[in-house]
Amino acid sequence: MTLEELQEIAKIEKERQEGFQHRINVCVAAGCLSCQSASVKEALEQEVNRRGLDNSCEVKGVGCLGLCTAGPLISVEPAGTYYREVTVSDASEIVEALGGSPVPRLDISGQLPFFQRQQKIVLENCGKIDPERIEDYIAESGYEGLYNALRTMTPAEVVDQVVRSGLRGRGGAGFPTGLKWTAVSKAASSTKFVVCNADEGDPGAFMDRSVLESDPHRVIEGMAIAGLAVGASHGFMYVRAEYPLAVKRVKTAIAKAERLGLLGNNIFNTTFNFDVKIRLGAGAFVCGEETALLASIEGKRGAPRPRPPFPAEMGLWGYPTLINNVETFANVAPIIRKGGNWFSGIGTEKSKGTKVFALAGRVNNTGLIEVPMGTKLHDIVFEIGGGIPEGRKFKAVQTGGPSGGCIPDQHLDMPVDYESLAKVGSIMGSGGLIIMDETSCMVDVAKFFMEFCMSESCGKCVPCRVGTTQIHNVLCKITSGEGKPSDIPLLEELGDLVKNTSLCGLGQTSPNPVMSTLRYFRDEYVAHIKEKTCPAGACNINGSKEAK
């Protein structure tokens, strides 16, 4: 493969696409597929064929269009129309309306704040390209970043661009990516590995799933650039087995990239070799922790080990290993294409670029969004998210999954970046935002997360294994109306202990949901203990209230 050949593929693909007057994009990511979008696509194809429009209109399966709540979603280009909740019987009306005014019954305006307020880098191809066709990705400047990195830059320059971009790990902790790359590139070893962490275990987060399902080549290209920068020639992608569609699309993408010589030996006629292999997770939340993940790739139980040594010095089978999250790798190709300075111009002083969030829970527009760092939480929930359904009152937004905290409305004006979230007792996490309204009991939510951490604790270290169980027991007592006033200081003491003495991130952050709800919703705990009532009406206290 040469640059000319790559550009030729892009040119042929663009000409092919320009041959069509209209394009109907049908979302075939997991969310819409579960609303039968596959049969909608088939119906549209049949309708287009029946009318003999197959030379002027393309029906294309694309990745996530974002607004999952309105699935199956389709978009019509170049008109820019979005249709919601499309069924098989709508196909003829939609094809009929091509080139004219949209079908009013199904139309959702592309002018909605949900679409307008976003800024897309990671998701720029989501909902635009067919994830199973590499040509489509190449036509959107795909693999150009890899070419530039290989043929016009030295590995040190590639690392320098990433350092300059200010990109921070999107898996949750926000460690500067450039520093990690520098450390691995400096490690003295002829064998190194690049690992992509796609074990998206946070309940309520589906960003990585959507990226892998919608634009898998972007992640693969990011991994290859990373391999070049740090001197690794083997990559592993550790994907959850719960995401069968993502696994299938990544497998297809790897095979196609190999066929075109974009993975494998002598990529772009250089001495650079790089391959990517898939490893399936098996349903253990702790495997999102990097040392546990490495153990799992080695075929062992996913138990973390103390750091240092960090994986950058001693990782997979003892060799230096670079581990980054899916979204982090997805940012790499644009950074190399457009330069680190371009990326660092977006976002806030310490948090650069954009962040993808999965909006879920009690909010009107559930789905996938990407906004610049520093966007206000209020704007995300009420403008992009469209507010709370059924006129209920907003109560809290939970960020960071079981490791994060609940943020009440007095902090809604806060910009979303790593530091601000930490200040209010939560974390950025991988990007799940769960919105809760007045019907959610915060003690019950804390109990839910503690139950999660308790059952996901690998059991290796005592504070996490025993501490999470103890905290969960206390919370069970409180929510069943048997709590004592002394339970609150007990929770705080236990939380402090677990936080400071656990081995890995799972244990260290597991008290966060309890601590943050104690901080902002202490009155609810007190009501459960003293008045034996659940203000939200969610807990079953003394059999008086029915649990929801």
Burial per residue of 489-514, b for 16 or more beta-carbon CB atoms within 10 angstroms, e otherwise:
eebeebbebbbeebbbbbbbbbbbbb
Q: Residue 104 CB: number of other CB atoms within 10 A? A: 7
362 touching other proteins, by CB under 8 A: yes
Size of the site for other proteins (CB under 8 A): 56
314 touching other proteins, by CB under 8 A: no
- DSSP secondary structure string for all residues of 160-222: HHHHHHT-B-TTTT--BHHHHHHHHHHS--S--EEEEEE---STT--HHHHHHHH-HHHHHHH
337 touching other proteins, by CB under 8 A: no
285 touching other proteins, by CB under 8 A: yes
* CB of residue 304 to other proteins, shortest distance in Å: 13
- Sole binder of other proteins in the list 225, 360, 464, 534 (CB under 8 A): 360
What residues from 440 to 459 belong to the interface with other proteins (CB under 8 A)?
Answer: 440, 445, 448-449, 452, 456, 458
Contacting range for other proteins; rule: CB under 8 A; set: 179-187, 216-224, 363-371, 493-501: 363-371
Query: How far is CA 276 from each of CA 195, 197, 233, 242, 366, rounded to the nearest angstrom?
Result: 9, 13, 9, 20, 33
Nearer to other proteins, 99 or 283 (CB): 283
**Euclidean distance between CA atoms 297 and 280, whole angstroms:** 8
**Euclidean distance between CA atoms 451 and 432, whole angstroms:** 18
- Sole binder of other proteins in the list 19, 99, 283, 345 (CB under 8 A): 283
**Euclidean distance between CA atoms 408 and 420, whole angstroms:** 14
402 φ, ψ to 5°?
-65, -10
255 touching other proteins, by CB under 8 A: no
284 touching other proteins, by CB under 8 A: yes
Q: Which two tokens stand for residue 527?
A: 């009501």
Nearer to other proteins, 45 or 200 (CB): 200
The pairing of strands 81-83 and 107-108 is antiparallel
Contacting range for other proteins; rule: CB under 8 A; set: 178-186, 357-365, 377-385, 464-472: 357-365
**Euclidean distance between CA atoms 370 and 121, whole angstroms:** 8
* CB of residue 398 to other proteins, shortest distance in Å: 7
- Sole binder of other proteins in the list 71, 145, 216, 235 (CB under 8 A): 71
- Sole binder of other proteins in the list 96, 298, 349, 493 (CB under 8 A): 298
Give the chain's length: 548
| 3-state class (DSSP) for residue 241 | coil
154 touching other proteins, by CB under 8 A: no
- DSSP secondary structure string for all residues of 319-365: S-EEEEEHHHHHHHHHHHHH-HHHHHTSB-SSSBSEEEEEEEES-SS
- Sole binder of other proteins in the list 11, 12, 19, 34 (CB under 8 A): 34
Decide if 75 contacts 127 (C-beta within 8 A).
Answer: yes
- Start-to-end CA distance of the chain, whole Å, equals 59
**Euclidean distance between CA atoms 226 and 333, whole angstroms:** 10
Binding mask 109-148 for other proteins (x = CB under 8 A): ----------------------------------------
274 φ, ψ to 5°?
-155, 130
Q: Residue 341 CB: number of other CB atoms within 10 A? A: 12
Q: Which residues pair with 5 in a beta bridge?
A: none
* CB of residue 298 to other proteins, shortest distance in Å: 5
- Sole binder of other proteins in the list 6, 30, 167, 239 (CB under 8 A): 30
400 touching other proteins, by CB under 8 A: no
- Sole binder of other proteins in the list 174, 231, 334, 361 (CB under 8 A): 361
Nearer to other proteins, 150 or 303 (CB): 303
Q: Which two tokens stand for residue 55?
A: 């030379």
Decide if 105 contacts 85 (C-beta within 8 A).
Answer: no
Binding mask 176-215 for other proteins (x = CB under 8 A): ------------------------xxxxxxx--xx-----
Nearer to other proteins, 35 or 162 (CB): 35
Binding mask 218-247 for other proteins (x = CB under 8 A): -----------------------xxx----
Nearer to other proteins, 192 or 240 (CB): 240
Nearer to other proteins, 360 or 427 (CB): 360
User: What residue ranges bind other proteins (CB under 8 A)?
Assistant: 30-31, 33-35, 68-69, 71, 200-206, 209-210, 241-243, 279-285, 296-302, 358-362, 366-368, 398, 401, 432, 434, 436, 440, 445, 448-449, 452, 456, 458, 547-548
